[in-house]
Chain A
């Protein structure tokens, strides 16, 4: 047995106040954090609220912040995070309202899942037997299928923190699962890509890698988001800030060997979108005042023709 020290952020739904409470409890050396929390609930404080069920990282109930990052408590070994009896700080998941203690309101999470129309849209009526589908294509979906909808990625998503309109990593990974499914109709796939290219969709991710880092099932939501961007651009959905930014970025590097920051900024919004350009003005002024304004005359880098050649070879592949 070993003693575990927990500092749990508690939320009282009646007073609507939060506070930290410390617990100390003896558990088995191999215990997971969830075992310790359950032991507290069962033997010290039956008022502590937490969701949990399977204890083997499959039901997705016990997502919470552990020392500042979202994790599944059942998959978090105490021996790893507190080898010398350090106090473990436990808080409810972020980007969600608390209901009580570690139990959060996941309504918004599920609303976003619903937003991507999370069901297969295959040819109707279906065949008499199974759809014939390439095993490789199906294997490719295996990674996203591992998602258990625990909410850890959403909890720690930096984009969602500043923009609640962002669909978020879990729902976008789920969207990939359908876009990548060879059984979906062309029309359905196209509709999805069109929707996902809009404001709040795939281009609103800022690549902070948090979702990849905290996902307990190696779904790597951000990678799926990048896949969706690529697929959407290939399908011709390029008339949006994200795709324009990406295109301008590539064009600049290809032609000059390095980034023409001023031009990328202008082209991302579209050269003819004056109101968007004007909105950028304060940023430009601030950059100028701090001496960070990129040079207005953009010169080619020495050897830029080699960069161009690399681009051309990649494009020919």
Chain B
């Protein structure tokens, strides 16, 4: 049975950064991931990564970056964590540069920045519009350099909890179908987002909230799961992401009358207001009849061909390939689309969850940096700052714990194999996992999206209960062992049902509007009652809601205007 001091689940940016930090701390670390590391969804981050470095002619500081983040979060972010991120950001940017990331540079050869949403200063470092891809590939280079073990294309089935602590995982090698126990003194979850809970979503097909569900089932709470971000500029048709960097470079949002409608909603920041604000504005424009086919337009024409090709080449391609629009010549039809979840497994500032030995980092964790709404280019930053911190903390925890505790290995494996057999032996119920997922996604997008209300969310909650009952009849048709997508996508669906339910229950609980959680039946932010985090715990009877206070260090709540 394989054993490691630290086992990282997920090989996106947070996971690989955590792995590298554990490695540097001298422990035996391995990464386990359901796709090859460079297929991870960190790839899709386009626009950039924030850090307040000041520099010539700029009065930027970590405090201003932190304040912008607090304001972006609608005061739901924990300010101690936000301070850490803003303070440590510059050093992490330099480290990425030293690792080999080819950031954009100015004429003097120094790193340069672009504007981004919700930021009062220009502080977004970038690599054209492929920042995530550029950093992800470099991080993978560092993993290769370290020589650490990577379990590629392994799917984690469950976390092993023994005497209250997490001591490893049960996992399936997707290629061979073999189930194994991998013991670890500390486990770091870095499994990313939950986009597939929604339909459509900008997220890849792999974003199924596995880590959220794994931690939840062994008793770690998820926090602020109602906070789901809709990105203002997703492409009409296939819903592909078009970076906020476009607006950072000066692109406009216009309605069917050609008006820059953001002047009505955010007269000072205009197109670069927070994402929740811009997405709500777009929905209002469309609902009031100033959209076209459910879309508004991203207008890049005045930016000129040279800038578009050099800095926005990928989204130029996407618009051309998938919507037949040449953005040099025409405005691109866009609409808000599900993009990110601020909520995640609750952790402290070192990534520790409430279960000893279990850590989390990245989109799957909630530290909480983003609170009610994440600022663009803070997510890549979160992955490196808190991936690093979680990797260090997990290594330290592993060093302090004794020998690997013995786990009843064969029972754990046998239980999973029996479950697979049961799934394969069932009669065909006449519907598939894919069909159930689609129903879930459509319902979530209809009722738990940019605007929400009690009736709609109750409808989705009922839908989810119905889906769960039908899911219990699902049959896996592929009886083979090798690369059985039918099997592992069914296990992903099981994870997503837990996540979806947690989102809806949390959203029903929060009776106010804050950040991305905009309720038509409680339209105002209510600091007296709701300046607190929602927690959701797993129980056999269903999700249990609890609350915890928000940490305020130096920025008391204010009215949020852009």
Contact = CB atoms under 8 A, between A and B. Distances in A.
Interface of A: 13-14, 30, 32, 38, 41-43, 46-61, 75, 77, 99-101, 103, 106, 110, 113-114, 117-120, 122, 126-135, 138, 141-142, 145-149, 181, 183
B466 interface: no
B432 interface: yes
A135 B133 contact: no
A41 B485 contact: yes
A14 B479 CA distance: 11
A56 B102 contact: no
A58 B43 contact: yes
Interface in B191-226: 204-206
Nearest to B90: A129
Question: Is chain A's interface secondary structure helix, strand, loop, or mixed overall?
Answer: loop
B237 A30 contact: yes
Contacts of A149: 38, 137
B109 A145 contact: no
Contacts of A77: 321
Given A46-B432, A100-B483, A53 B205 contact: yes
A55 B238 contact: yes
Given A47-B477, A60-B38, A106-B36, A100 B141 contact: no
Given A50-B485, A53-B205, A99-B175, 15 more contacts: A41-B485, A43-B435, A47-B486, A49-B482, A49-B483, A56-B238, A57-B321, A59-B204, A99-B482, A99-B483, A114-B144, A129-B110, A130-B93, A135-B107, A146-B130
Given A43-B434, A56-B318, A99-B482, A145 B477 contact: no
B485 A53 contact: no
B434 A134 contact: no
A103 B483 contact: yes
Contacts of B476: 46
A54 B482 contact: no
Given A58-B44, A119-B141, A130-B110, A138 B100 contact: no
B91 to A, nearest CB: 10
Contacts of A42: 432, 434-435
Nearest to B479: A47
A55 to B, nearest CB: 7
A-B pairs, 4 with minimum CB distance: A120-B100, A42-B434, A53-B204, A46-B486
Contacts of B108: 132
A53 B478 contact: no
Given A56-B241, A130-B110, A148 B321 contact: no
A113 B38 CA distance: 13
B127 A145 contact: yes
Given A54-B41, A60-B39, A119-B141, A47 B98 contact: no
B263 interface: no
A101 B480 CA distance: 13
Contacts of B93: 130
A135 B109 contact: yes
B205 A52 contact: yes
B105 interface: yes
A248 B482 CA distance: 52
A30 B133 CA distance: 26
29 contacts: A14-B480, A41-B485, A46-B434, A46-B478, A49-B485, A53-B35, A53-B39, A54-B44, A55-B205, A55-B240, A56-B44, A56-B238, A56-B318, A59-B35, A59-B40, A99-B482, A101-B483, A103-B483, A106-B36, A117-B145, A120-B98, A128-B94, A130-B97, A131-B98, A132-B108, A133-B105, A135-B105, A145-B127, A145-B130
Contacts of A13: 480, 482-483
A53 B41 contact: yes
Contacts of B102: 138, 141-142, 145, 181
Contacts of A46: 432, 434, 476-478, 485-486
Interface in B320-359: 321-322
Q: Give the one of B97, B104, B137, B485 with max A CB within 10 A.
A: B485
Nearest to B132: A58
Interface residues of B, number: 59
A59 B41 contact: yes
A265 to B, nearest CB: 40
Contacts of B43: 54, 58-59, 148
Contacts of A120: 98-100, 138, 141
A57 B478 CA distance: 28
A190 B46 CA distance: 34
A170 B40 CA distance: 19
Contacts of B97: 130-131
A138 B107 CA distance: 11
Nearest to B205: A53
Q: Give the one of A30, A59, A106, A183 with max B CB within 10 A.
A: A59
Interface in B473-525: 476-478, 480, 482-483, 485-486
A127 B435 CA distance: 54
Contacts of A117: 145
Contact of B39 (A43, A59, A118, A133): A59
B256 interface: no
A145 B136 CA distance: 11
A60 B48 CA distance: 20
Contacts of B432: 42-43, 46
B25 interface: no
Interface string B449-486: 00000000000000000000000000011101011011
A14 B484 CA distance: 13
Q: Give the one of B237, B476, B482 with max A CB within 10 A.
A: B482
A212 B93 CA distance: 33
A302 to B, nearest CB: 47
B111 interface: yes
B485 A119 contact: no
Interface in B220-258: 237-238, 240-241
A153 B236 CA distance: 31
Nearest to A46: B486
Contact of B480 (A47, A55, A129, A142): A47
A101 B38 CA distance: 22
A117 B435 CA distance: 45
A255 B459 CA distance: 85
Interface in B89-129: 93-94, 97-100, 102-111, 127-128
B332 to A, nearest CB: 14
Contacts of B35: 51, 53, 59, 61
A20 B258 CA distance: 52
B399 interface: no
A38 to B, nearest CB: 8
